Amino acid sequence: MLWLSLLFPQFPLEVLAGDPALQSGSVAITRAVIENEHILVADAAAREAGVLAGMRLAAAWARQPLLTVLERRSDLEAAALKRLACWAGGFTPDVCIRDESSLLLEIEGCLRLFGGLDVLLKQILDGLTAQGFTVRHALAPTPMAASWFALVVPETHCFDADQLRLAVANLPVAVLASSPDVAARIQAFGLQRIGDLMALPRAALMRRVGAAPLLALSKALGELPDLRQRFIFPDQFCETLELPARIEHAGALLYAGQRLVAALCGWLANRASGVATCLLWLEHERGRDKAESATRIELRFAEPTRDANRITRVLRERLERLRLPSSVLIMRLEAASAETLPGRDGQLFTRASSGAAGGSAESGSIGALVERLEARLGEGNVMRLEQIADHRPECASRLVPWSAVDESVKMIEINAAPRPLWLLPKPEALKEISGRPQRYGPLELMNGPERIESGWWDADEQDAVGDVQRDYFVARSTRQEWLWIFRAETGWFLHGVFA
């Protein structure tokens, strides 16, 4: 096994922080999260001013009078860690929540799928950075060792048992302390490194310091199994995100929305599914006299997808055109139904490097363009042609909304004769000189005739084409245009142009 430990040292602060792009001004904003009147974690600007973790709040304000203080929200941290676990499901099904600010991912079985460790690790770290989280990572054959490395010596990559034993031996003995009492007993020996402790007799150590530190060491070295409870992915996706501040403009919701989208895409990837429709609910601030109803935003896609970039593009288009009735306090993303999304065949001699939670190959499809146009122009305003079993060109197709076309309907083939992609709204009459049709000079007939006639069944209907008797030809003009013309009783007519 190969375990990846992800430790979030600034997690209590970053869960409460808003979009960094919205923070402007000449005065640097310093922030810190407090718990029981003590500094729990501070941002870089506050640390430069001397505000450190463990410091009393009064002392921190003495060092930085402009310090912005945020009360710790353990409930928001637990919800955020759950969302990150869902997001991590886009890389591996084996996800464990280790503690309140770290995750463990078993990734050995996923390396070939993503094209190797470097590619997979880059996608994971870039994804966390895009969501606004600072992360320390480490790799080891055991989850306990990976967690220790991420805490003490981040970016350690350990792959085999011999290398693991040497790396663990160099760690400080403080990582073994599960409580202040145990830490005091270990420090009484005067030992600095775990390697010094490993040289002592285990039986005597167990009597002096207890069994817990030595059991942890055995699990870290792989001598004992370290069973971890896997994260259970929910059957339906419904995630709520409480915003750190009131949001007055819809465009400012995108940053928070990206965290919900990332969790959704990881959940979908874990289920090998995609979503054709999802709902975003915006819960507004309740006024004194009345409560504003929640704003419902339906995100529709031309085909089932789990591509985070694709979903985010549609979300951005919808938010940019939304006017909020009042400020937003809570966002909720729902995807009640997921559709099975079949995988794609890869090439034999190319490395797989598709995205974890979405498969970036979807990003260039026609469906992504349609979704973006519908988000801008409105649903039902993007049309495409649907074929109809009628031999008359004017009646062989009709415009329908994109989403109304049934993909399961097979294409209709009436005949194999050439047809232009573009028809004139109404046939255009052509001049005739010595029996030859003219358009910027005489036309050269290249193919034909093709006889199309009849249509008596709708001859009496209003605005219907009715009965026709035509001989169609493919013609070339002096301008090298390829035209679709026909001869009727009343003369020659231009009906279409070939691309």
Instruction: Report the C-alpha gap between 446 and 473 in whole angstroms.
Output: 7
Q: State residue 251's pLDDT score.
A: 84
Q: Is this prediction's pTM over 0.85?
A: no
Is the confidence at residue 151, as pLDDT, over 80? Answer: yes
Point out which residues pair with 427 in neighbouring strands: none
Q: State residue 302's pLDDT score.
A: 79
Torsion sign across C-alpha atoms 25, 30, 34, 40? positive
Give the count of beta carbons closer than 10 Å to the beta carbon of residue 229.
7
Q: State residue 358's pLDDT score.
A: 47
Is the confidence at residue 385, as pLDDT, over 80? Answer: no
Is the confidence at residue 364, as pLDDT, over 60? Answer: no
Point out which residues pair with 334 in neighbouring strands: 238, 279
Is the confidence at residue 21, as pLDDT, over 60? Answer: no
Pseudo-torsion of CA 148, 151, 153, 155, nearest 10°?
Answer: 100
Give the mean pLDDT of the chain: 84
Q: State residue 420's pLDDT score.
A: 85
Please write down the HEC assignment for all residues of the chain.
CCEEEEECCCHHHHHHCCCHHHCCCCCCCCEEEEECCEEEEECHHHHHCCCCCCCEHHHHHHHCCCCEEEECCHHHHHHHHHHHHHHHCCCCCCEEEEECCEEEEECHHHHHHHCCHHHHHHHHHHHHHHCCCCCEEEEECCHHHHHHHHHHCCCCECCCHHHHHHHHHCCEHHHHCCCHHHHHHHHCCCCCEHHHHHCCCHHHHHHHHCHHHHHHHHHHCCCCCCCCCCCCCCCCEEEEEEEEEEECCHHHHHHHHHHHHHHHHHHHHHCCEEEEEEEEEEEECCCCCCCCCCEEEEEEEEEEECCHHHHHHHHHHHHHCCCCCCCEEEEEEEECCCEECCCCCCCCCCCCCCCCCCCHHHHHCHHHHHHHHHHHHCCCCCEEEEECCCCCHHHCEEEEEHHHCCCCCCCCCCCCCCCCCEEEEEEEEEEEECCEEECCCECEEEEEEEEEEECHHHCCCCCCCCCEEEEEEEEECCCCCEEEEEEECCEEEEEEECC
Q: What is the pLDDT of residues 408-462, one digit of tens each?
A: 444 455 555 778 878 888 889 999 988 889 998 999 998 878 888 877 777 667 6
Peptide bond between residue 442 and the one before it cis (omega within 30 degrees of 0)? no
Q: What percentage of the chain exceeds 90 in pLDDT? A: 43
Q: State residue 96's pLDDT score.
A: 96
Instruction: Report the C-alpha gap between 75 and 99 in whole angstroms.
Output: 14
Q: Is 333 within 8 Å of 261 (Cβ atoms)?
A: yes
Instruction: Report the C-alpha gap between 206 and 11 in whole angstroms.
Output: 35
CA distances from 443 to 418, 423, 446, 471, 483 (A): 18, 18, 9, 15, 9
More confident residue, 148 or 344: 148
CA distances from 133 to 19, 87, 316, 485 (A): 12, 13, 21, 64
Q: What is the pLDDT of residues 214-273, one digit of tens each?
A: 888 999 999 999 999 999 999 899 999 998 888 888 888 998 999 999 999 999 999 889
Q: What are the tokens at 493?
A: 């007519």
CATH 3.30.1490.100 domain locations along the chain: 237-361
Q: What are the tokens at 362?
A: 């979807």
Instruction: Report the C-alpha gap between 349 and 346 in whole angstroms.
Output: 9
Region 186-209 average pLDDT: 80
Is the confidence at residue 3, as pLDDT, over 80? Answer: yes
Least confident segment among 98-112, 339-353, 471-485: 339-353
Buried b (16+ CB within 10 A) or exposed e, 90-118: bbbbbbbbbeebbbbbbbbebbebbeebe
Is the confidence at residue 480, as pLDDT, over 70? Answer: yes
Highest mean pLDDT among 25-29, 85-89, 305-309: 85-89
Residue 217: name the closest of 197, 200, 187, 201 by CA.
197
Is the confidence at residue 174, as pLDDT, over 60? Answer: yes
Q: What percentage of the chain exceeds 70 in pLDDT? A: 87
Rg (CA), the chain: 33
Instruction: Report the C-alpha gap between 156 and 136 in whole angstroms.
Output: 10
Is the confidence at residue 338, as pLDDT, over 50? Answer: yes
Instruction: Report the C-alpha gap between 261 and 254 in whole angstroms.
Output: 10
Q: State residue 107's pLDDT score.
A: 95
Q: Is 11 within 8 Å of 25 (Cβ atoms)?
A: no
pLDDT-derived band at 388, boundaries 50, 70, 90: confident
Highest mean pLDDT among 257-266, 316-325, 375-384, 439-448: 257-266
Region 170-175 average pLDDT: 88
CA distances from 317 to 263, 351, 366, 400, 433 (A): 20, 34, 17, 23, 55
Highest mean pLDDT among 125-129, 335-339, 381-385: 125-129
Q: Give the angle subtended at the CA of 296 by the CAs of 295 and 299, to the nearest 5°.
A: 140
Q: Does domain 237-361 have CATH number 3.40.50.20?
A: no
Instruction: Report the C-alpha gap between 204 and 12 in whole angstroms.
Output: 40
Contacts of 352 (CB under 8 A, 6+ apart): 112, 113, 114, 115, 346
